Amino acid sequence: MTKPSFTVNLQKIINHFVRLILQNRHPDMTSIQRNLFFILLVVISTGFMACNDEIYSSNPQNRLTLSTDTLAFDTVFSSIGSSTSKIMIYNRNNVNLKISQLGIAGGKDSPFKINVDGSLDANNQFKDIEIRAKDSLYIFVSVTVNPTNSNSPLFIRDSLTLQTNGVKQQIQLQAFGQDVRIFRNKYILNDTTLTSERPYLIYGYLAIDTAKTLNIKPGCKFYFHNNANLIVYGNIKAEGTVGNPITLRGDRLDDIKFATPFPYNNVAGQWGGIYLLWKGGNHTLKHVYMNSGYLGVYMPNKDVTTLPSLNISDCKIHNFLLYGLYVRNGNVLVTNTEISNTGSYSVYLNGGQHSFIQSTIANYFDNSNVQPVSRNRNPAVMITDSNRVASTTSVFRNCIISGSEDNEFSLMIQNQNQYSGIFDHCYIRRSEALPSSQFSVIRWSQPNDTVFKSIRYDYIKNTYFDFTLDVSSPARGLANPVVAAQYPIDLNGNSRLTGNAPDAGAYEW
C-alpha cells in the first residue's frame, strides 16, 4: 500500500534532521539544543511509526490465505457435539488487513459454531477483524446436531464466509449427523435383544444381569466413551455375519491433530473392554470386530469346579492396551480369528480347555508410532496352570503365533499330571524349539522370516498393520488340509480349499 505523500515528506524531513544532528553539522545549535531536539525527533518519529501500524490496506489484491477450502467432520452423534477443529487464516502480505465481515452463512441457527481468536458471538457473525502483516488468525469450529428421529445419517453443510476489501472468500463446512441410542450405566435385568437400526453410545457401562442373555444382532455398532465397558454377569450372544459384522470401538471418530493427522481409533486405550464375569456363562462371539480399548475379552473365573464357555469365531480383536483374550478357569474355542497387538499378553490361558484352530495371534504393538506406551515384553501367548486352577488342556492347530519379540510363546506348566497339549501344523516365533512330543509339524521361526504383509503402522507413510500372509511367508502351505476343510472360508472370505495346500492362520494367501 502507498503511504500518503505528506507522511512520506514528513518522514524525509525527520530523517534529514536526524542525520545533521548526528553529524554535528546543523548551524545555530548548541550541543544541549541538539540533544533536546534529537530526543524530540525520536519521539515524533516513534509516534509516526506507531500510527503507520494502524494503517490498513484497501487494495483488493492483498488477499488472505486460508488453511483449507473445506472442513469436514466425521460422523457426529446427535445432541453430543463434535470435538473442535481449527482453521487458520494467514495474512502473508507486508501490510495490515481488516476483515470487514466473518461468519457462518447460516447464522445463529447453524449447527456449526465458531470461536474467532477466543471470542464467541451468539449469531456466529464478526466484524472488523484486524490481521497485521505476516500474522495469522485462529478460528475454532464445532458442530452439534439435533436429533432427527432417523436411522440413516444426515448430511449437514454450511459455510464460513469472510470479506476483505470487497473480496469474498469461503470455507465449506460439512458433517454427518447420526441419531444414536445412548446407554448411561445401563443395567439390563431381563433377556434382551439389541438390533442394528441405530448405533449405541455407551457411557460408564452396559451390563446384563446374572443368568440373563444379551443377544446382539448382525450389524450392531457400539461406541464406548472413555473407560466404558460391556459387563456380562449372564450370557452374551453376539452373532454377526460376513456382510454385517458387529463392531465395538471407542467413541472418538475424529483425528488427533498432529502435523499429519491420524485417527484416535488407531490408539489403544480409547475405552474399556468386555468382562465375562459369570462362572456359569455360555458366550458366543461371531463376526465381531473390536479394537483399541484397554483389554479385549476378560474372563477371570476363580471357581475351579464350574467353568464358563466361550466360542469365538471369525473375529478380530486388535490393538488393546493390556490383553486381547484373558481366560482363567474357562473353556474356550477360537476359530478363524485374529488376536493382535496388545501391551501385554495377546492370549493368556490359565486353567480350562482351550482350542485354537486356523487363527492368527500376532503382537507387534511396539511397531506403531502413535502408541503412548510400549508392550511389556510378555509373550504373545502364555499358557500356565498357576494359582490353583482347573486342569488345563491346550490344542493349537493350523495357527500362527508371532510378534516383535524373540520368544512369543511360553508354556509354564507346574503340574504336568493336570496338563495335556497338542500343537500341530503351526508357525511359532520362538528362538529355541520346544522338544516336547506335544509339538508336531511346527515351523519354528527363523531370523529372516517375513510372515505378514505389514507389521508396522506409520501414519506419515499411510501404512497400517496387515496380518494377511506375505508372498514368502513360511506359514503358506503349512496347514493340515483335513483341519482346514472344516473351516473352508478364511477371515477375509477367501477359500482355503484351492490347490489343496491351505495356509496356517486366519488368512489364506
| DSSP labels, 276-310 | E--TT-EEEEESEEEESSS-SEEEE---SSS--EE
**CB 382, CB 410: distance < 8 Å:** yes
- What is the rounded (10 degree) CA torsion for 434, 435, 441, 444? 30
State the Cα–Cα distance between residues 110 and 159, nearest whole angstrom.
10
Q: Parallel, antiparallel, or unpaired for β 213-216 and 235-239?
A: parallel
Q: How many percent of the chain have pLDDT more than 90? A: 74
pLDDT at 151: 84
Burial 216-254 (b: 16+ CB within 10 A, else e): bbbbbbbbbbeebbbbbbbbbbbbbeeeebbbbbbbbbb
State the Cα–Cα distance between residues 82 and 77, nearest whole angstrom.
8
User: How big is the chain by its Cα radius of gyration, in Å?
Assistant: 33
State the Cα–Cα distance between residues 389 and 350, nearest whole angstrom.
7
Residue type, 14: I
State the Cα–Cα distance between residues 356 and 240, nearest whole angstrom.
20
pLDDT at 6: 40
Can you tell me the mean pLDDT for 311-328?
98
Top-confidence residue, 285 or 48:
285
Assigned C-alpha cell, 428: 511359532
Assigned C-alpha cell, 18: 536526524
- Over residues 109-119, the pLDDT tens digits come to 999 999 998 89
Residues near 141 by beta carbon (within 8 Å), at least 6 away in sequence: 71, 84, 85, 86, 87, 112, 113, 114, 115, 160, 173
Kind and range of the H or E element at 91?
A: none
Q: How many percent of the chain have pLDDT more than 70? A: 89
pLDDT at 145: 85
- What is the rounded (10 degree) CA torsion for 6, 7, 8, 14? 110
Residue 68 above 80 pLDDT? yes
pLDDT level of residue 84 (50, 70, 90 thresholds): confident
pLDDT level of residue 80 (50, 70, 90 thresholds): confident
What number does CATH give the domain 65-177?
2.60.40.10
Residue 4 above 60 pLDDT? no
pLDDT at 305: 95
- Over residues 130-145, the pLDDT tens digits come to 999 999 999 999 999 8
pLDDT at 35: 58
Can you tell me the mean pLDDT for 268-284?
98
Longest CA–CA span in the chain (Å) reads: 117
**CB 478, CB 424: distance < 8 Å:** no
Assigned C-alpha cell, 102: 466473518
Domain boundaries, the chain: 5-53, 65-177, 180-500
